[in-house]
Each structure stands twice: as structure tokens, then as C-alpha cells.
Amino acid sequence: MSADLRDNTLRHAVTSAIYTAVTILAFGIIYPLVIWGIAVVAFPHQAAGSLIDVGGKTIGSELVGQLFKSPRYFHGRPSAAGNGYDPTQTGGTNFGPTSKKLIDATRATIAALRKDNPDAGMPIPMDLVTSSASGIDPDISPEGAQYQAPRVAKARAMSVDAVRALIAAYMIPRQFGLFGEPHVNVLDLNRALDAQGAPTSK
């Protein structure tokens, strides 16, 4: 190898190493820290995980669904994340439309919904039957909440109209009136229910 070629190769290697180091420093350390700092100052609640504290105890996050079993509470979407609602194992079932496992699971979910909500008086909304892609979706459709209203009202000795009014009060509309679909945060709605009476276990 000639001296010129050796010098040229060394120069390129040094340039590449410097570029790599600068890029890692700028975009792998400095940029994330700056964005994190801005988020902590401008959006402290969101930057901390949108956690909800009650009486000094964290009961959940607005961004992560939970498993509610009691008839006194609204229930979220089915979850395929780990053993259910596991934020460390997010994901859907990945079953195709002809999958026997998916068909059997859907039939079982429908049967359970009909058993638990005998007075629903409306078709089962699709979001109560299907799991989300993440498996930890914290929201359901207004129709999904309305479907459960008679059960919740009966379990809490409330009028169905009062429960439906609460759903309407906590419905989140499309962003800017254009993006997404109207939805209800299950944890927020259940907290509102508890605010009207003594809370019970999930």
C-alpha cells in the first residue's frame, strides 16, 4: 500500500469515527435530553406517564388499560397483552380472520358479554369483542360504554339515565372535530362512578 493510499484511508477512518461520535452524542444523548427537559417543563403530567394518584396512591395511567371485573365498573376491551393488560408485553393476537382460535375466542367473548349484560338492549359494539393492537387500550367507544350502562346502574343502584349522563359527560370527541373517533377513558369513567359512592375493588 502506497503512503498516499495509507494516509487517505486513515483520514477517512478518522473522519468516520469523529462523525459517528458526534452523531451519537448529538442525537443519542443531547437531543433526547433536551426533548425530555422540554416535556418535563411544558407537559409534566404527560412526561411522567399520565399517572393518576388518589390519596397519595397511584391507581393507574390514563394511557394504559386495566382489567375491571366487578359489575359495578365499566370494562375495557379484551386484551392479548401477556396474560392481559400487561404493558411489558404489548401486542395483539395476530390471528387471521379464518383462525379457529380467533373465532372461538370471539364467540366466548360474545357469550360472556351477553351473560353479564342481559339488559343491554342493543347490539354488542365491536370494540368490546375485539382486542386492540396494543392490548392495553385505555378507551372504549361511547357505544361500548352505553352497552354496559344498565349493568353498572343496577350494580350501583343508580338510574340508567344517570349512568348514561355520566358517559356523555366523559365522552372525548374527535380531536379538532376531525381526527380519530369519539371515545371514553375507562379509568376516568370508573373514577367518576366512585366519586358518587364508596369505591369497591376492581
Name the region of 201 (left: φ>0; alpha: ψ -120 to 50; beta: rest): beta
- The answer to whether residue 200 is domain-embedded is no
**Domain ranges, residue 39:** 3-45
For residues 21 and 87, state if they share a domain. Answer: no
For residue 183, report the phi and psi dihedrals to the nearest 5 degrees: -155, 170
Per-residue pLDDT of the chain (202 residues; tens, 9 = 90+): 566 667 788 888 889 999 999 999 999 999 999 998 998 888 888 877 788 888 788 888 888 888 899 999 999 999 888 888 888 888 888 888 888 888 998 999 999 999 999 999 899 999 999 988 888 899 999 999 999 999 999 999 999 999 999 999 999 998 888 888 999 999 999 999 998 864 444 5
Distances (CA, A) of 2 to 13, 15, 127: 16, 20, 70
> Do the Cβ atoms of 76 and 65 come closer than 8 Å?
yes
Instruction: Give Dmax over CA atoms of the chain in angstroms.
Output: 91
Please give the tally of structural domains in the chain: 2
For residues 41 and 54, state if they share a domain. Answer: no
For residues 90 and 179, state if they share a domain. Answer: yes
Q: What is the pLDDT of residue 124?
A: 95
Beta strands in the chain (DSSP E): 51-54, 57-61, 139-140, 171-172, 183-185
Helix (H, G, I), strand (E, B) or coil at 71: coil
For residues 81 and 97, state if they share a domain. Answer: yes
For residues 64 and 135, state if they share a domain. Answer: yes
For residues 85 and 149, state if they share a domain. Answer: yes
Q: What is the pLDDT of residue 1?
A: 58
For residues 25 and 62, state if they share a domain. Answer: no
**Distant-in-sequence, close-in-space partners of 101: CB < 8 Å, separation ≥ 6:** 93, 95
- The answer to whether residue 199 is domain-embedded is no
N-to-C CA span, the chain: 74
Q: What is the pLDDT of residue 12?
A: 84
For residues 12 and 111, state if they share a domain. Answer: no
Q: Which of 45, 63, 79 is the last residue of a domain?
A: 45
- The answer to whether residue 140 is domain-embedded is yes
- The answer to whether residue 55 is domain-embedded is yes
Q: What is the pLDDT of residue 102?
A: 87
- The answer to whether residue 70 is domain-embedded is yes
Q: What is the pLDDT of residue 82?
A: 81
The Cα–Cα gap between 113 and 109 comes to 6
For residues 36 and 102, state if they share a domain. Answer: no
- 14: cell is 478518522
- The answer to whether residue 201 is domain-embedded is no
Q: What is the pLDDT of residue 5?
A: 67
> Do the Cβ atoms of 194 and 54 come closer than 8 Å?
no
